[in-house]
Amino acid sequence: MAAPTPLDLRYPIGRAQLPATPLTSAERAPYIQQIAALPAKLQAAVSRAGAERLERPYRPGGWTGRQVIHHLADTHLNLYSRFRLALTEDNPTVRPFDEQAWAELPDVAATPLSVSLALLESLHARWVVLLQHLREDQWPRTFYHPRYLTTSTLDQALVQYAWHGQHHLAHVESLVA
């Protein structure tokens, strides 16, 4: 087996494949399940990795496991808010943030991982309730992301954000190997 390339290490599950057409309820279900299951899977991966390994980067030049976990909490707060904005405003422009700068803030090193893991557990529980209660006519709602110059439907955001969790879970799991 060939050694992983830098791209494989950065994107261990590949890149997100966003739907071009609306999803059906049955097609959405696995993505909602991924969002629901992420906190427990992440907690299990953290336990398997151990504190020492979580202080290491998952790839050369990459974030540490600690930074990845706090990044998930930071980012998923924003992602949940984007859903709520799209549901309550007409094509709102969402606020980008400098993920690298956030990963280097002092609270990332000082905050126990258990805080972000608990935050993710509560946040995902609330997010899943929202997702499970959306009507079909709400899924086509959109938001605009000025960094990427893209307008996304909630179906596309669901796929992207489920991928985001799995993407970073794979980074943490790579620290176990």
Asked if residue 10 is part of any domain, the answer here is no
pLDDT in tens, 127-158: 999 999 999 999 999 999 999 999 999 999 99
pLDDT in tens, 23-70: 999 999 999 999 999 999 999 999 999 999 999 999 999 999 999 999
Asked if residue 57 is part of any domain, the answer here is yes
Asked if residue 150 is part of any domain, the answer here is yes
CATH number for the domain spanning 150: value is 1.20.120.450
Please give the tally of structural domains in the chain: 1
User: Which range of residues forms the domain containing residue 156?
Assistant: 28-174
Asked if residue 18 is part of any domain, the answer here is no
Rounded to two decimals, what is the model's pTM? 0.94
DSSP readout, the chain? Answer: -PPPPHHHHHSTT------SSPPPHHHHHHHHHHHHHHHHHHHHHHHHHHHHHHTSBSSTTS-BHHHHHHHHHHHHHHHHHHHHHHHHSSSPBPPP--HHHHHTSHHHHHS-HHHHHHHHHHHHHHHHHHHHT--GGGTT-EEEETTTTEEEEHHHHHHHHHHHHHHHHHHHHHTT-
Asked if residue 15 is part of any domain, the answer here is no
Asked if residue 161 is part of any domain, the answer here is yes
Taking the C-alpha atoms of residue 103 and residue 133, their distance in angstroms, rounded to an integer, is 33
Asked if residue 16 is part of any domain, the answer here is no
Asked if residue 12 is part of any domain, the answer here is no
Taking the C-alpha atoms of residue 30 and residue 113, their distance in angstroms, rounded to an integer, is 27
